[in-house]
A = this chain, B = another copy of it.
Amino acid sequence: MSDNSFNHKLVKKLIHAEKTEALKGLLKELDSVEIANSLLQLKLKHQLLVLENLSKEVASEVLAHLQNSSPILEGIVSQMNSGRLGEIIEEMDGDDAADMVSILEESKAEEVLETLPTKDREEITNLMQYHEESAGGIMNPVVVSVGKDQTVKEAVNGIRDLIEKEELETFYAVYVVDEYQHLIGMVTVPILLLAEQENLIKNLMNPNVVAVDVDMDQEAVARIAQEYDLVVIPVIDKYLKLIGRITIDDLMDVLHEEYHEDIAHIAGTGGEEVLETSVLRTSRDRLPWLILGLGGGFLAALAMSEYESMLTDLPQVMYFMPLIAALGGNIAIQSSSIVVRGLGTGEIRTGDLLQRLWKELRVGMLNGPVCALILFLMVWTITTDVKLGMITGIALIAVVMLAASVGSTIPILLKRINIDPAIATGPFITTANDLLGILIYLSVTFSILGTSLI
């Protein structure tokens, strides 16, 4: 990849030296992925300069690659004039074109749609009716289909016409439909290629096709593709008619997006992008989670102030407070992250609540006493107080069991009421368990010590 970074630098240098012709020449030698990567490193006005020097075909590929970096893409398209944007969008596949129009401001979107041929305009507005995270939102409506009673030769001729009409670049499967467009089977392209010209499609087709409904969530579509090792998946409407197809590259983007979202939730960084986000936006994305942490800490401080006299008598109790809080947080994040991942991949269902809880409690029954013993030895070392060591050990076991219960059940409960369970992993659950840990520790410790202190 050092090669790429060399190209990036060259692009930058030519822009700063204002060598437009040289820049144009260099851009012709790069592929659209390399150009898209270079754009990520440039200022907006230089991004626009690069795009001006690309053919509309290459520009459409470059913008399609940028769809994973939405803040940058939004900045670029808002500054391009509608005519040029229309030309570029006309070159795109239906699904990419619809995505591109949907990020424009309403008035600009209308202007751009005006510039398009009627057929493209209708295709795009038709696609935009589907939820952007559904199968319909990521499908391509141009799909290669044949009839079961056609010969291979007839089918190939039909495909040739379609390809020309729709400017389709490539396809991975040919779907078989009846006269009403109902999906009834599939033939892979290699099978067609190797078949005798006069053979009938119905003799070649596989009638067991895994298809998805147009309203299915895109993540569920990606999971099905992954389970069945599919490269392309047909999309049907509620009458079981074939209306589109989703290719694996779009599904990989879906998984990529979901992964980043999960990690962002766990780390409490919001939807933050890696490179493109400004300092101000980064700060704004992260601050709520920090304030949540401060709020938890405030409640912990209030709880401690309740025990002020006891803490003054026995400040050693305090020493182990951060340890107890951190341990509660760690255990909660361990058990919740497993559940969130399992819910995401479908390996855990919302009905598995008790089973999951029971497993986490058993893990807690093993790890709790081990940690308690270690804590006992630590307390003994620092304070030489055996009784305090035993009490903190007991409190710690209680904290471990509670954190395991909270961590494993909250994500499942959230999922049941249709809230993204990933929210429950990360700052939310660690803060809750920091606080719970401190409350349990204080109440256990002082309810046992209380009598002796009075």
- Complex: how many Å from CA A238 to CA B291? 54
Q: Tell me whether A296 is interfacial, beta carbon within 8 Å.
A: yes
Contacts of A427 in B (CB 8 A): 330
Within the complex, the shortest CB–CB distance from A336 to chain B, in Å, comes to: 8
Asked whether, in the complex, the Cβ of A326 is within 8 Å of the Cβ of B325, the reply is yes
Chain A's interface size range is: 35 or more
Copies of this protein in the complex:
2
Asked whether, in the complex, the Cβ of A290 is within 8 Å of the Cβ of B371, the reply is yes
Asked whether, in the complex, the Cβ of A286 is within 8 Å of the Cβ of B363, the reply is yes
Asked whether, in the complex, the Cβ of A370 is within 8 Å of the Cβ of B287, the reply is yes
Max chain B Cβ within 10 angstroms of own Cβ: one of A159, A256, A325: A325
Max chain B Cβ within 10 angstroms of own Cβ: one of A230, A283, A297, A347: A297
- Complex: how many Å from CA A324 to CA B296? 11
Contacts of A370 in B (CB 8 A): 287
- Complex: how many Å from CA A259 to CA B294? 30
Asked whether, in the complex, the Cβ of B268 is within 8 Å of the Cβ of A297, the reply is no
A272 and chain B: residue at smallest CB distance:
B338
Asked whether, in the complex, the Cβ of A374 is within 8 Å of the Cβ of B294, the reply is yes
A304 and chain B: residue at smallest CB distance:
B319
B-facing mask of A295-320, CB < 8 A → 1, else 0? Answer: 01110111011001001100110111
Asked whether, in the complex, the Cβ of A334 is within 8 Å of the Cβ of B267, the reply is yes
Option from B191, B279, B346 in Cβ contact (under 8 Å) with A363: B279
Within the complex, the shortest CB–CB distance from A167 to chain B, in Å, comes to: 13
From known contacts A311-B318, A321-B321, A382-B302, infer whether A267 and B269 are also in contact, taking CB-CB under 8 Å. Answer: no
Contacts of A156 in B (CB 8 A): 193-194
Contacts of A24 in B (CB 8 A): none
Segment touching B, from A105-113, A122-130, A134-142, A221-229:
A221-229
Asked whether, in the complex, the Cβ of A231 is within 8 Å of the Cβ of B248, the reply is yes
Contacts of A159 in B (CB 8 A): 190, 193-194
A427 and chain B: residue at smallest CB distance:
B330
Contacts of A283 in B (CB 8 A): 363, 366-367
Q: Tell me whether A431 is interfacial, beta carbon within 8 Å.
A: yes
Question: A72-125: which have CB < 8 Å to B?
Answer: none
Contacts of A267 in B (CB 8 A): 266, 333-334, 336-338, 425
Question: A9-34: which have CB < 8 Å to B?
Answer: 31, 33
Question: A122-180: which have CB < 8 Å to B?
Answer: 156, 159-160, 163, 170-172
Contacts of A342 in B (CB 8 A): 274-275
Within the complex, the shortest CB–CB distance from A37 to chain B, in Å, comes to: 8
Option from B263, B293, B346, B382 in Cβ contact (under 8 Å) with A330: B293
Asked whether, in the complex, the Cβ of B322 is within 8 Å of the Cβ of A382, the reply is no
From known contacts A33-B228, A256-B255, infer whether A318 and B290 are also in contact, taking CB-CB under 8 Å. Answer: no
Asked whether, in the complex, the Cβ of A286 is within 8 Å of the Cβ of B367, the reply is yes
Contacts of A242 in B (CB 8 A): none
Q: Tell me whether A244 is interfacial, beta carbon within 8 Å.
A: no
Q: Tell me whether A219 is interfacial, beta carbon within 8 Å.
A: no
Q: Tell me whether A282 is interfacial, beta carbon within 8 Å.
A: yes
Asked whether, in the complex, the Cβ of B274 is within 8 Å of the Cβ of A347, the reply is yes
- Complex: how many Å from CA A337 to CA B269? 8
Contacts of A269 in B (CB 8 A): 334, 337-338
Within the complex, the shortest CB–CB distance from A219 to chain B, in Å, comes to: 13
Question: A330-387: which have CB < 8 Å to B?
Answer: 330-331, 333-334, 336-338, 341-342, 345-349, 359, 362-363, 366-367, 370-371, 374-375, 378, 382-383
Asked whether, in the complex, the Cβ of A300 is within 8 Å of the Cβ of B282, the reply is no
Q: Tell me whether A249 is interfacial, beta carbon within 8 Å.
A: yes
A321 and chain B: residue at smallest CB distance:
B322
Q: Tell me whether A5 is interfacial, beta carbon within 8 Å.
A: yes
Within the complex, the shortest CB–CB distance from A21 to chain B, in Å, comes to: 24
* Further pairs besides A282-B363, A293-B323, A301-B382: 12, Cβ < 8 Å: A40-B347, A159-B194, A226-B249, A231-B231, A266-B337, A274-B345, A275-B348, A286-B363, A294-B327, A297-B322, A311-B315, A318-B318
* 14 pairs of residues in contact across A and B, judged by CB atoms under 8 Å: A156-B193, A171-B190, A226-B253, A262-B263, A266-B267, A279-B359, A280-B366, A283-B367, A291-B374, A293-B323, A293-B326, A294-B375, A297-B320, A315-B318
Q: Which 7 pairs, one residue from A and one from B, show the smallest C-beta to C-beta distance?
A: A297-B323, A267-B337, A301-B319, A229-B249, A274-B342, A283-B366, A189-B189
